[in-house]
Amino acid sequence: MELSRTPVPDPLVGHRLAGRYDVVARVASGGLATVYAAQQPPLGRRVAIKVLARELSRDPEACSRFEQEARVISRLNHPNIVSIFDLGAEDGREYVAMEFLDGYSLHDVIRREAPLSPSRAVRIMMYVTRALAAAHRQGVLHRDLKPECIMLVPVGGERDFVKLLDFGLTRLLHGDRRSRSSSGAPGPERRTRALASHNAIRAVPLYASPEHVNGEKVDPRSDLYALGVIAFEMLVGRVPFDGSSPIEVALQHMQAPRPSVRASLPGSPASPALDRMVQRLMAINPADRPADATRLLDLLEDLPEYTGPRARLATAVAVPGAQAMPPLAAVRRVPSPVVRDTVVDIPATPPPAEAEEKPPEMPMPGPFDPTLTMASTPGPRKPTERGRPQ
């Protein structure tokens, strides 16, 4: 006899969580948490509720990390980072209420549409880099950047507006308390455990930087490395390093030559400059990568695939016979007639000089005269019968 499986109803669906959120449906589920769609009745706002798995809710360290993630993201007030509204617990289960995102993860988009066009890939990279720059300025690393953490939502005329989420391995830059040797570097025992322990390599090995999987100190350039791997995957349709085990992938990140986008995908429309940029982001030595996300923004703007607004003025170069760059005050930002929803910097041309129109001369006021009416004052306004101007 064949037994049919009846889906087990989720007890939270249809429940009012913490007396504030009406849970409508389960959206996604994983080993760490489950995400629900909900309504917040007082405001009529649609929110996403992320509930920590029950077994993890009994782990003080897991609860602490979950709360830390919520608090860190809530202070990162940036349009490309998901907004956190609330943090609480009910029946011993921690939850976070956050902005509901009606879109697709970059992971799903890559799976369906890769390879993406170079201009689209660069545009997505720009959004992610802006989010990382905002986080890094607050002293926060993502440490778990992967396509599943990048949501693409339609905003206005932009279909690929990025929302960065799941700072699941977030660490404050000055609060990373890992066991280290007296010299500040991880000892041999620590390095061995980093490659052998699943708990040590908690970031997805496909996108983790060499220093991360090797148990060494990470910094903002580690997030940029992960972005370089994601860029390669967008442009080629597969990750640059893969294998049958996490350790095999980790060793490739630390030792293998950096692949080229154009060599990996013959006929790729990616420019040589973009290809070099992706390889630079994936450099084994962090010193060979861009210094930080702010610097990467400048470098991305210089790529031929970038068509968005310029965040800075180009540096003037002395060329014989060339017109000097206008000063900042003489530059105005206007909508571009070519690229929708973008602005470009153009010199502000002053309007032609016109003859200045002098206002009519007003008589000097004399002593107060109570018989003086509005009709006797110069100007275009005339009183009505009730004494009000027309």
Eight-class DSSP state of 9: P
C-alpha to C-alpha distance for 67 and 57, rounded to whole angstroms: 11
User: Which distant-in-sequence residues (6+ apart) come within 8 Å of 248 by Cβ?
Assistant: none
User: Which distant-in-sequence residues (6+ apart) come within 8 Å of 160 by Cβ?
Assistant: 120, 123, 124, 127, 152
Instruction: Find out whether 338 and 329 touch, Cβ atoms under 8 Å.
Output: no
Structure token digits, residue 57: 């809710």
* Beta strands at 21-29 and 33-40: parallel, antiparallel or unpaired: antiparallel
Structure token digits, residue 81: 């980072």
HSE-up (13 A, CA, CB side) for residue 165: 24
C-alpha to C-alpha distance for 147 and 144, rounded to whole angstroms: 10
HSE-up (13 A, CA, CB side) for residue 34: 17
C-alpha to C-alpha distance for 37 and 27, rounded to whole angstroms: 6
Look at the alpha carbons of 208, 214, 218, 221 in this order and tell me if their dihedral is positive or negative: negative
Look at the alpha carbons of 12, 153, 212, 137 in this order and tell me if their dihedral is positive or negative: negative
C-alpha to C-alpha distance for 63 and 92, rounded to whole angstroms: 10
Cis peptide before 370 (omega within 30 of 0): no
User: If you search the block for the tokens 């000063």, which residue do you land on?
Assistant: 327
144 assigned to active site: yes
Q: At what angle do helices 106-113 and 220-236 cross, to 10 degrees?
A: 30
Catalytic residue among 144, 160, 166, 292: 144
Structure token digits, residue 156: 């206005």
Structure token digits, residue 278: 């992706």
Across the strands, what pairs with 22?
16, 39
* Beta strands at 150-155 and 104-105: parallel, antiparallel or unpaired: antiparallel
Look at the alpha carbons of 284, 287, 293, 294 in this order and tell me if their dihedral is positive or negative: negative
Active site residues per annotation:
144
